[in-house]
Amino acid sequence: MSIKVLGTGYYVPPKTLTNDDLAQMVDTSDEWITQRVGVSVRHVSETETASDMAVKAALQAMEQAGVSAEDIDLIISASITPETLCPTVAGWVQKHIGASCPAFDVSSACSGFLFALDTAVSYIVRGKVKNVLVIGAERLSKIVDWTDRNTCVIFGDGAGAAVVTAGDNYLSSLIYTAGGDEVLKIPSHAGNSPFYKNEPDRPYIFMDGQETFKFAVSKIVKDIKEVTEEAGITLGQIDHVVTHQANIRIIDYASKRLGISKEKFFVNIDKYGNTSAASVPMALAELNASGRLKRGDIVALSAFGGGLSSAACIIKW
């Protein structure tokens, strides 16, 4: 026994920012961003918090799943940009959807949703709960340095959610962490302690793009091979690949190295940019909404990013 997905949902805030808009803010161009990253436009939140966006994605997933707030037994949310550390994003969602179940966040940057999903599976398999609301939600615009062209052109805001329940469709999974801050780092608020003796950090995303890129390509390929083997299937049997939307060139490399055609990779980075923990559930929800997912299809999910971390799983739809 494992899980099956009952419903999915996603939400992005209304304000859009094009590459030309960004070229007014930093020394960049539509051509560079489109060719090197694959983003044309991203959404940025003016007033909505990560949890506000999470609520909207969650309600959509619940409606599709045909479950109400009383039917949800656990809420797990992944975010590196909660508006408040306490309550958690999951706690805010619990309040706003009118649920009364336990709710907590997990934090593993862009791999966060798949870490949250794997945690949900464990609770379901132990028989502790039946229906779990799993969310990834980010307001990355809050922690981006808008004067740094290396990072500000990449990220976007949004949320994705899934309602999962007991079933037999989670065929295999892995989660991975290699702790360290040399490649990717997001400092937390330092506060105003008069006793603080560390060097103050810049409170923005720091990313060594090329090192992250190499990690991403090698992990997508290795992870998908590993979960495919664990599921007892071949790469050729995979119908859809939903990866973290970080850079279109990462997806291109993964497609070539895995020998899985590009058509099987779902791509929406052009519309939303990199939304970290929201990226995989947003892509899964959008793929589901497109009607291309058929019962019995084999879906490979894969994510990678800060931590460093990565995660992957195989789901039979």
Q: Which residues are at the interface with ligand UT7 (CB under 6 A)?
A: 28, 32, 36-37, 110, 149-150, 153-154, 209-210, 212-213, 216, 246-247, 250, 274, 276, 305
Question: Which of 246, 313, 309 is closest to 108 using CA atoms?
Answer: 309
- End-to-end Cα, the chain, rounded Å: 15
Question: Which of 149, 135, 119, 163 is closest to 79 using CA atoms?
Answer: 135
Which residues are tagged catalytic?
Answer: 110, 244, 274
| Torsion (CA) 267, 272, 276, 278 in degrees, nearest 10 | -90
CB of 206 to ligand UT7, least distance (A): 12
Neighbours of 223 (CB within 10 A): 27
d(CA 42, CA 22): 10
The upper half-sphere exposure of residue 63, i.e. CA atoms within 13 Å in the direction of its Cβ, equals: 10
The verdict on whether omega for the bond into residue 87 sits within 30 degrees of 0, i.e. cis, is yes
Closest to ligand UT7 by CB, 36 or 130: 36
Closest to ligand UT7 by CB, 3 or 186: 186
CB of 214 to ligand UT7, least distance (A): 9
Contact predicate 110/303, CB 8 Å? yes
| β-bridge partners, 134 | 76, 162
Closest to ligand UT7 by CB, 28 or 81: 28
Nearest residue relative to ligand UT7 (C-beta) = 209
User: Which residues lie closer than 8 Å to 128 by C-beta, 6 or more apart?
Assistant: 73, 74
d(CA 33, CA 160): 24
Closest to ligand UT7 by CB, 60 or 79: 79
Closest to ligand UT7 by CB, 131 or 151: 151
d(CA 119, CA 121): 5
CB of 150 to ligand UT7, least distance (A): 5
Structural tokens at position 57: 């994605």
CB of 167 to ligand UT7, least distance (A): 30
Let me know the angle formed at the C-alpha of 108 by 305 and 155, rounded to the nearest 5 degrees. 50
CB of 304 to ligand UT7, least distance (A): 6
CB of 295 to ligand UT7, least distance (A): 31
Contact predicate 9/160, CB 8 Å? yes
